[in-house]
Amino acid sequence: MAFGLPCMNYFNHRSAELYAEDVAVRDLVRDLGTPLYIYSARTLRRHFRVMREAFRDTEVLVCFAMKALSNLSVLKLFADLGSGFDIVSGGELMRCMRAGADPRKIVFSGVGKTDEEIEAALRAGILMINAESRPELGRISAVAGRLGIQAPVSLRVNPDLDPGTHPHISTGHRDSKFGIPLAEVDHYYAEARTLPNLELVGLSTHIGSQITELAPFNEAADKVASIVKRLRANGIALKYLDLGGGLGIPYQEEPPPPSAYAHTLTGPLRDSGLKLIIEPGRVLVGNAGILVTRVLYVKETDAKRFIVIDGAMNDLIRPVLYEAYHEIRPVVARDGARILTADVVGPVCESGDFFARERDLPEVQSGDLLAVMSAGAYGFVMASNYNSRPRPAEVIVSGSNYLVVRERDTFEDIVRNEKLLAIPPGPDA
């Protein structure tokens, strides 16, 4: 395999001990506590290069889907590598601009952009807005008119296919809220052409996330290729074709490597003459991050064994939200440990607060550290303060150094925007 497998990463056991690059995870925990998100800079850089290299025969702009991991320092790392960004909100725009992103490499996706967000994106001079509905096109036109500029716009097409992934992260089916219907694409372009202050520069699509087969990508590329041809025949010449993100990572199943993914996407589009944009999120950052937690208690009932850890669904919600599998490893492996079946659960007061169910794991004791692997994508970014728990710290390791890129929340952070007011008695008091 020319570019290696996507599962390649720099979290490895050296004899009994888990390392992040050249730093022992135990040392990071000693300094920073748990739960702790740890990212490997070398893995992040590697994955970006592998993805770009996979498309080396095509002119491609890689726009990191920053929703997957939006820490400012991670964004800067990608911006420094030349990455563009796929954003979905005004907040994401501000984040990536603060991190030094080139606005000419930003695409703005999402089904519900506000006037303020559209205006901010146009003022920043982003590459294009991926519009998803008639009313949205009208709004973009109006905002651009007010600013006295031409808004670069692409239309997001819903290719009506089944990407074979969890329903919550499947976006390319006709029942989904995303994109414009396949049958109406020509209409939309014709209509959009008549609106003032719009420059129709592209076509985009995104069919879903954690896709582990090539067939759905192939189907999407085929459908999009035929639309582009038809549009060109009707005098609509575009510049950019944005094929979204979605390539899966090996949580459990083995996804195709980026080289095969690139081949699948570019095949049908070879003669389109358009510049390709991709929006990978998970595949760039997923296994570049782990979440380290400490075992609080091992609790045995007559039904089950529970490993109660100090990480919870507020820190990583993927297991309960998507029935997602994350490998769990002891940070320090014990020689000859028995393998026991257990549920790995957090302290939050919900039965949905688990990281693993009926999992075979080496026997652990209170105080041991467990690493939840492949937690870099949609991990910290989906964390909350539920149960008034502080969100974890985030640290990036590079070689034998590490940098804390986000402090753990303090109690004051949690209550920062709240007011402690005496509510005046109402009429029924």
Under the binding rule (CB under 6 A), the answer on residue 329 touching ligand LLP is no
Of 80 and 323, nearer to ligand LLP (C-beta) is 323
What's the min distance (Å) between Cβ of 368 and ligand LLP? 27
- 35, 163, 280, 311: residue in contact with ligand LLP (rule CB under 6 A): 280
Residue 373 tokens, joined: 């692997």
Q: Which of 123, 192, 127, 183 shows the shortest CA–CA distance to 155?
A: 192
Q: Which range, of 8-16, 53-61, 118-126, 243-251, touches ligand LLP by CB under 6 A? A: 243-251
Draw the binding track, 176-205, toward ligand LLP (x: CB under 6 A; -: no contact): ------------------------------
Q: Closest approach of Cβ 302 to ligand LLP, in Å? A: 34
Could you say which of 210, 212, 272, 293 contacts ligand LLP (CB under 6 A)?
210
Residues annotated as catalytic are 349
Rounded Cα gap, residues 334 and 344, in angstroms: 18
Q: Which is nearer to ligand LLP, 216 or 244 (CB)?
A: 244
Cβ at position 278, least distance to ligand LLP in Å: 9
Choose, by CB under 6 A, the member of 244, 255, 256, 376 that binds ligand LLP: 244
User: In the complex with ligand LLP, which residue's Cβ is closer, 109 or 398?
Assistant: 109
Considering only residues 335 to 394 of the shown chain, the ones binding ligand LLP according to CB under 6 A are: 378
Among 245, 258, 319, 330, binds ligand LLP (CB under 6 A): 245
Could you tell me the smallest distance in angstroms from the CB atom of residue 406 to ligand LLP? 19
Which of the stretches 141-149, 242-250, 259-267, 398-406 binds ligand LLP when contact is defined by CB under 6 A?
A: 242-250
Among 65, 243, 295, 361, binds ligand LLP (CB under 6 A): 65
The site string for ligand LLP over 84-123 (x = CB under 6 A, - otherwise) reads --x----------------------x--------------
CB closer to ligand LLP out of 27 and 254? 254
Query: 281, 65 in Cβ contact below 8 A?
Result: yes
Pick from 282, 294, 326, 389 the residue near ligand LLP by CB under 6 A. 282
User: Of these, 159, 179, 216, 246, which contacts ligand LLP (CB under 6 A)?
Assistant: 246
Closest CA to 202 of 282, 114, 269: 269
Half-sphere exposure of 245 (CA within 13 A, CB side): 26
Nearer to ligand LLP, 281 or 311 (CB): 281
**Contacting residues for 43 by C-beta, under 8 A, at least 6 apart:** 8, 9, 10, 11, 287, 288
Q: Which residues bind ligand LLP (CB under 6 A)?
A: 65, 68, 86, 109, 169, 206, 209-210, 244-247, 279-283, 318, 322, 378
